[in-house]
Amino acid sequence: MILILQPDTDLDSAEYRQLLDHLDRLPGVRYRIHHEQGEQQRLTEIYLIGDTARLSLADMQSLPTVERVVRVSREYRVLGRHQNDDRPSAFDYNGVTFSQDNLNLFPGLCAVDNPRHVELMMQALQQHGLVCTRMGAYKPRTNPYSFQGHGKSCLPYVFELAGKYGIKVIAMEITHDVHIEEIRQALEQTGNPTGVMLQIGTRNTQNFELLKAVGRQQQFPVLLKRGFGITLEESLNAAEYLASEGNRKVIFALRGMKTNMGDPHRNFVDFAHVPVIKRLTRMPVCIDPSHSVGSRAADPDGILDLMHVTAQGIVAGANMVLIDFHPDPAKALVDGPQAMRLQELPYFLDDVAIAREAYEKRRRLIRGEN
């Protein structure tokens, strides 16, 4: 059960104290308090855990400072979509809105290799009016002898160039909690020219200590990749770890599942699950065509499988696309063969626009709008 308090409830007030005293006396019930500082107001929600089935909605609703009560109908308490649950799914970060209703594009480098490639990438994004990108600094690699990413040494130039080209959000994977502090420090040293969305990779979806550390901070939103060899429920619980620690600015990314030894795609594309995630949770849903398809194979017309699955995900309502681009894929240090080329960016955007329009038309159709 979730108690949603009146906005800006005074935490020093007698009413608030009275509410907590009442909750303290409920047998078999524990609670967790969550504060969310928005631009306009502070929201406070109290999550009741344990023996809550006996509690009546009306009784709880009548407690001091309580505005609304939501009975949790599914497992994912914070991020789940419950009955009569009109809590917002959207959040803003550094001037960009993320929600289940819009679409943000994150084309960028799988791995940062040198300042020139970062600059060419960001320059192209700015030319096309894009404000988000992906930039890998910490790379988890299957082979210990493969390039592991430049780590914190590349952060200053990545952030400065982002500022120069108006990039507001960079999706960046971290593999250890010390990376959060490294990113924070580099942002501070460069004068906070941009924002970072912390990415949890598919190999770390169930790294619970990392999830807790990322969940404990609210400065950066999180992009959680679905685990490639676990159930959907397990991955959604991983997202809930982040939220239960306090960070509910979470986007859930589909990136394909391990099935058939990488043939014909690197992973089995799972973008049919976009509406499933939206139904079960309030998280915006990201698709990662690069790490699911893993190649530049094309159909007889020349349309890349990458673009087919991107379109499929968007037609199904995806809210974010994370995709590898590179100015010179032959020289990329990681995942060059699956990268889109910079000169393909206008084509990519046109194709995405077609798919998004189709989704919006489909949505209007079901709603009976014209």
Residues at the site binding Mn ion, with contacts judged by CB under 5 A: 110, 335
x/- mask, ligand PEP, residues 110-129, rule CB under 6 A, reads x-------------------
Subset of residues 186 to 245 that bind ligand PEP, contact rule: CB under 6 A: 201-202, 225
In the bound complex, what is the minimum distance in angstroms from residue 318's beta carbon to ligand PEP? 15
Sequence-ordered list of residues with C-beta below 8 angstroms from that of 43, at least 6 positions apart, any chain: 4, 5, 7, 35, 36
In the bound complex, what is the minimum distance in angstroms from residue 290's beta carbon to Mn ion? 6
- 80 versus 294: smaller Cβ distance to ligand PEP: 294
Instruction: Give helix 345-366 / helix 305-315 axis angle, nearest 10°.
Output: 30
SS3 305: helix
- 110 versus 121: smaller Cβ distance to Mn ion: 110
- 19 versus 172: smaller Cβ distance to ligand PEP: 172
By the 10 Å C-beta count (0-12 exposed, 13-18 middle, 19+ buried), 119 is classed as middle
Residue 316 to residue 276: CA distance in whole angstroms: 10
Residue 321 to residue 286: CA distance in whole angstroms: 6
SS3 314: helix
Please work out the total of residues on this chain that contact ligand PEP, with binding judged by CB under 6 A: 9
- 89 versus 202: smaller Cβ distance to ligand PEP: 202
Q: Out of 117, 282, 291, 326, which residue is the one contacting ligand PEP (CB under 6 A)?
A: 291
SS3 125: helix
- 225 versus 249: smaller Cβ distance to ligand PEP: 225
Is 269 near ligand PEP (CB under 6 A)? no
Token pair 């809550």 in the structure block, residue: 52
Q: Is the separation of the CB atoms in 348 and 107 below 8 Å?
A: yes
In the bound complex, what is the minimum distance in angstroms from residue 253's beta carbon to ligand PEP? 7
Select from ligand PEP, Mn ion, none the partner in contact with residue 201, using the beta carbon and a kind-dependent cut-off of 5 to 8 Å.
ligand PEP
Q: Is the separation of the CB atoms in 94 and 195 below 8 Å?
A: yes
- Nearest 5°: CA angle at 223, between 71 and 7? 40
Subset of residues 310 to 329 that bind ligand PEP, contact rule: CB under 6 A: none
Q: Out of 173, 245, 270, 305, which residue is the one contacting ligand PEP (CB under 6 A)?
A: 173
Residue from 362, 352, 282 nearest 105 by CA:
352
Which residues are near ligand PEP by CB under 6 A? 110, 136, 173, 201-202, 225, 255, 288, 291
